[in-house]
Amino acid sequence: MHPFSYTRAANTRQALDAGRAGGRYIAGGTTLVDLMRETVERPRTIVDISALPLREIMVTRRGGLRIGALVRMSEAAAHRGVRALYPVISQALELSASAQLRNMATIGGNIMQRTRCTYFRDVTAACNKREPGSGCAALHGVNRTHAILGTSDDCVATHPSDAAVAFTALEATVHLLGPDGERTVPFADFLLRPGSTPNREQALRKGELITSVEIPALPRPLQSGYLKVRDRQSYEFALTSAAVALHIRGGVIHEAKVAAGGVGTVPWKLPAVERELIGQRPSNVLWTKAAERAADGARPLRHNRFKVELLNGPSSANCAS
């Protein structure tokens, strides 16, 4: 680990001043400390923001939900309001990482976590995300767990967060506070596709903090859930996952919010699937037909063509190319 200095912000002003001076924010530390140990990350100063008042979960006036950035994953997953209004968020959180990690990691940190691409974490490998311009060892290496959607010639790494898939499906908003004041960014614009700058992962400006994630009010009743396929049933990242929320009234789907995880360089919203569902009556035939649109635009790599089949469902197993 490289030498670094540690400072603990007693209030938001102190945090922003330290962030503007180049400090890296840390709360649960479950990603950053690992990466510092591996020398992938080498911050000169880390700024502990865990004392800031960002731990509240509240129902908004319009009936949505606002989750403070420093709420622990386990707290958000167990919260009555989250469970009642958006079970898809609770389920995504509970299927993430391990109980110990969920007790430490925060919501803000969860969406800021960096890719699990093994080449990114191996400082001897070429990696444009870690060392811009050095190449991408995954493109022609072992790329079974990598992305098939949103990739570029410079990076094919997936975003690892499960909660971010639920936030993408539900069209959440990220609230930010920086030296120039507050602003909000749609979740879909917050996490960046790699393009030619995979080292740039979020739409954060220098010194900005995530203060909360807001989920908009959606028509009720709303049925939602999170399905995750992985190599083992615990403490493992998604090969493919789906966050789905449906508003069904009079036997017809009036609203559909769908996103996939484990397949995109960012959590992947599926508007074509949503369009297939809206206005239709739920049935197995409909689910199959809608799922056939889930891999639209996919560019599988040498080892991860099976992700197309996971997205499209069993009916595609013999025809995915």
Q: How far is the CB of 222 from ligand SF4 (least distance, A)?
A: 35
CA distance 317 to 8: 53
Question: Are the CB atoms for 184 and 215 separated by under 8 Å?
Answer: no
Nearer to ligand SF4 by Cβ, of 43 and 141: the residue is 141
266 binding ligand SF4? (CB under 6 A): no
Closer by beta carbon to ligand SF4, 156 or else 291? 156
- Residues in 101-120 at the binding interface with ligand SF4, rule: CB under 6 A: 115, 117, 119-120
Tell the smallest beta-carbon distance from residue 158 to ligand SF4 (Å).
9
Task: Report residue 29: phi and psi, to 5°.
Answer: 80, 10
Least distance in Å: CB of 93 to ligand SF4?
A: 24
Pick 28 or 198: Cβ nearer ligand SF4: 198
Q: How far is the CB of 300 from ligand SF4 (least distance, A)?
A: 14
- Interactions with ligand SF4, residue window 275-294 (CB under 6 A): none
How many residues in the shown chain lie near ligand SF4 by CB under 6 A?
14
Question: For residues 183-222, which are near ligand SF4 according to CB under 6 A?
Answer: 198
Interface characters, 124-163, with ligand SF4 (x: CB under 6 A): ---xxx------xxx----------------xxx------
Name the residue nearer to ligand SF4 (CB basis): 201 or 208.
201
The token pair that represents 105 in the structure block: 């990691």
Cβ distance to ligand SF4 smaller for residue 20 or 121: 121
Q: Give the footprint of ligand SF4 on this chain (CB under 6 A).
A: 115, 117, 119-120, 127-129, 136-138, 155-157, 198
